[in-house]
Amino acid sequence: MSNPMDDHALAAGRTFPWHEVYVADTQAAMDFYTRALGMGTEEMEMGEMGKYKMLTANGKAVAGSMSTTNLPSPDVPPHWAVYMSVDDVDARVTKVKELGGTCVVDPFDVPSVGRMALIADPQGAHLWLYKDSAQG
Protein backbone atom coordinates (compact mmCIF):
# COMPACT_ATOMS: atom_id res chain seq x y z
CA MET A 1 0.00 0.00 0.00
CA SER A 2 1.31 3.45 -0.90
CA ASN A 3 1.68 6.22 1.63
CA PRO A 4 -1.61 8.18 1.57
CA MET A 5 0.30 11.41 2.17
CA ASP A 6 2.07 10.88 -1.18
CA ASP A 7 -1.32 11.08 -2.93
CA HIS A 8 -2.38 14.28 -1.14
CA ALA A 9 -2.01 16.47 -4.24
CA LEU A 10 -4.01 13.99 -6.32
CA ALA A 11 -7.25 14.43 -4.35
CA ALA A 12 -8.57 16.86 -6.97
CA GLY A 13 -10.52 19.69 -5.44
CA ARG A 14 -10.57 18.38 -1.89
CA THR A 15 -7.13 19.10 -0.54
CA PHE A 16 -5.96 21.10 2.44
CA PRO A 17 -3.90 23.76 0.66
CA TRP A 18 -3.27 26.11 3.56
CA HIS A 19 -2.65 26.13 7.29
CA GLU A 20 -2.48 28.99 9.80
CA VAL A 21 -1.24 29.27 13.34
CA TYR A 22 -3.36 31.59 15.50
CA VAL A 23 -1.34 33.09 18.36
CA ALA A 24 -1.07 36.43 20.18
CA ASP A 25 2.51 37.07 18.99
CA THR A 26 2.94 36.02 15.35
CA GLN A 27 6.60 37.06 15.21
CA ALA A 28 7.41 34.82 18.20
CA ALA A 29 5.61 31.94 16.48
CA MET A 30 7.56 32.49 13.25
CA ASP A 31 10.82 32.61 15.20
CA PHE A 32 9.95 29.38 17.01
CA TYR A 33 8.91 27.41 13.92
CA THR A 34 11.84 28.58 11.79
CA ARG A 35 14.31 27.52 14.47
CA ALA A 36 12.53 24.33 15.57
CA LEU A 37 11.63 23.04 12.10
CA GLY A 38 14.28 24.63 9.88
CA MET A 39 11.76 26.61 7.86
CA GLY A 40 12.06 30.03 6.26
CA THR A 41 9.72 33.02 6.41
CA GLU A 42 8.34 35.65 4.09
CA GLU A 43 5.78 38.41 4.38
CA MET A 44 2.93 39.55 2.16
CA GLU A 45 1.44 43.04 2.34
CA MET A 46 -2.28 42.86 3.21
CA GLY A 47 -3.25 46.55 3.14
CA GLU A 48 -5.16 47.56 6.28
CA MET A 49 -4.43 44.17 7.82
CA GLY A 50 -0.68 44.87 7.74
CA LYS A 51 1.92 42.27 6.86
CA TYR A 52 0.96 38.60 6.74
CA LYS A 53 3.78 36.41 8.03
CA MET A 54 4.26 33.01 6.36
CA LEU A 55 6.41 29.93 6.88
CA THR A 56 8.24 28.62 3.81
CA ALA A 57 9.67 25.24 2.85
CA ASN A 58 11.90 24.83 -0.19
CA GLY A 59 11.17 28.44 -1.13
CA LYS A 60 7.37 28.03 -1.15
CA ALA A 61 4.92 29.47 1.36
CA VAL A 62 3.21 26.60 3.18
CA ALA A 63 1.51 28.23 6.19
CA GLY A 64 0.61 31.60 7.61
CA SER A 65 0.03 33.22 10.96
CA MET A 66 -2.83 35.27 12.36
CA SER A 67 -2.86 37.24 15.58
CA THR A 68 -5.56 36.30 18.07
CA THR A 69 -5.42 39.89 19.37
CA ASN A 70 -7.23 41.15 16.24
CA LEU A 71 -10.14 38.70 16.31
CA PRO A 72 -13.72 39.69 17.21
CA SER A 73 -13.69 37.27 20.15
CA PRO A 74 -10.86 37.65 22.70
CA ASP A 75 -11.41 34.07 23.91
CA VAL A 76 -9.85 32.31 20.90
CA PRO A 77 -7.03 30.09 22.22
CA PRO A 78 -3.78 29.54 20.32
CA HIS A 79 -4.31 26.84 17.68
CA TRP A 80 -3.56 25.65 14.15
CA ALA A 81 -6.32 26.06 11.53
CA VAL A 82 -6.63 24.16 8.25
CA TYR A 83 -8.26 25.22 5.01
CA MET A 84 -10.05 22.80 2.68
CA SER A 85 -10.27 23.65 -1.00
CA VAL A 86 -13.89 23.47 -2.21
CA ASP A 87 -15.72 24.11 -5.48
CA ASP A 88 -18.19 26.69 -4.11
CA VAL A 89 -17.82 28.15 -0.61
CA ASP A 90 -21.39 29.47 -0.37
CA ALA A 91 -22.97 26.23 -1.57
CA ARG A 92 -20.86 24.20 0.86
CA VAL A 93 -21.86 26.47 3.76
CA THR A 94 -25.52 25.89 2.85
CA LYS A 95 -24.94 22.12 2.84
CA VAL A 96 -23.12 22.28 6.20
CA LYS A 97 -26.14 24.02 7.74
CA GLU A 98 -28.55 21.48 6.20
CA LEU A 99 -26.56 18.69 7.85
CA GLY A 100 -26.58 20.24 11.33
CA GLY A 101 -23.32 22.18 11.20
CA THR A 102 -22.96 25.92 11.64
CA CYS A 103 -21.26 28.79 9.90
CA VAL A 104 -18.92 30.46 12.39
CA VAL A 105 -17.61 33.13 9.98
CA ASP A 106 -19.81 33.95 6.99
CA PRO A 107 -18.29 33.69 3.49
CA PHE A 108 -16.07 36.63 2.56
CA ASP A 109 -13.56 37.54 -0.13
CA VAL A 110 -9.89 38.36 0.34
CA PRO A 111 -8.69 40.31 -2.73
CA SER A 112 -6.18 38.38 -4.86
CA VAL A 113 -6.51 35.37 -2.52
CA GLY A 114 -9.99 33.87 -2.65
CA ARG A 115 -13.31 33.29 -0.92
CA MET A 116 -13.51 31.62 2.47
CA ALA A 117 -15.76 30.80 5.40
CA LEU A 118 -15.30 29.10 8.76
CA ILE A 119 -17.68 26.25 9.50
CA ALA A 120 -18.20 23.92 12.46
CA ASP A 121 -19.40 20.35 12.16
CA PRO A 122 -22.25 19.12 14.42
CA GLN A 123 -19.68 18.21 17.11
CA GLY A 124 -18.10 21.67 17.02
CA ALA A 125 -14.86 20.99 15.11
CA HIS A 126 -13.90 24.00 12.99
CA LEU A 127 -12.71 23.95 9.37
CA TRP A 128 -12.05 26.79 6.96
CA LEU A 129 -13.55 26.37 3.47
CA TYR A 130 -11.61 28.05 0.69
CA LYS A 131 -11.81 28.69 -3.05
CA ASP A 132 -8.80 30.25 -4.75
CA SER A 133 -9.63 33.46 -6.63
CA ALA A 134 -7.71 32.06 -9.62
CA GLN A 135 -10.33 29.28 -9.89
CA GLY A 136 -13.03 31.76 -10.90
Evaluate whether 16-80 and 86-136 have a shared fold. Answer: yes
Look at residue 12 in the predicted model and tell me its pLDDT: 54
Q: What integer pLDDT is reported at residue 13 of this predicted model?
A: 60
The string of pLDDT tens digits covering residues 2-61 is: 444 444 454 556 688 899 999 999 999 999 999 999 999 999 888 777 788 999 999 899
Q: Looking at the predicted structure, is the pLDDT value of residue 136 above 80?
A: no
Enter the DSSP assignment of 58.
T
CATH code matching the domain that covers 16-80, chosen among 3.10.129.10, 3.50.50.60, 3.10.180.10, 3.40.920.10:
3.10.180.10
* HEC assignment per residue over 74-111: CCCCCEEEEEEECCCHHHHHHHHHHCCCEEEEEEEEEC
The two counts, helices (H) then strands (E), for the chain are: 2, 8
Sheet of 51-57: strands edge to edge?
A: 40-45, 51-57, 60-67, 18-23, 79-85, 126-132, 114-120, 102-110
Helical (H) or strand (E) element with 19: strand 18-23
Greater confidence (132 vs 106) lies with: 106
Contact criterion met (CB below 8 Å) for 19 and 82 = yes
Mean pLDDT computed over every residue of the chain: 87
Tell me the domain boundaries of the chain. Answer: 16-80, 86-136
- pTM of this structure: 0.80
Q: Which CATH class is domain 86-136?
A: alpha beta
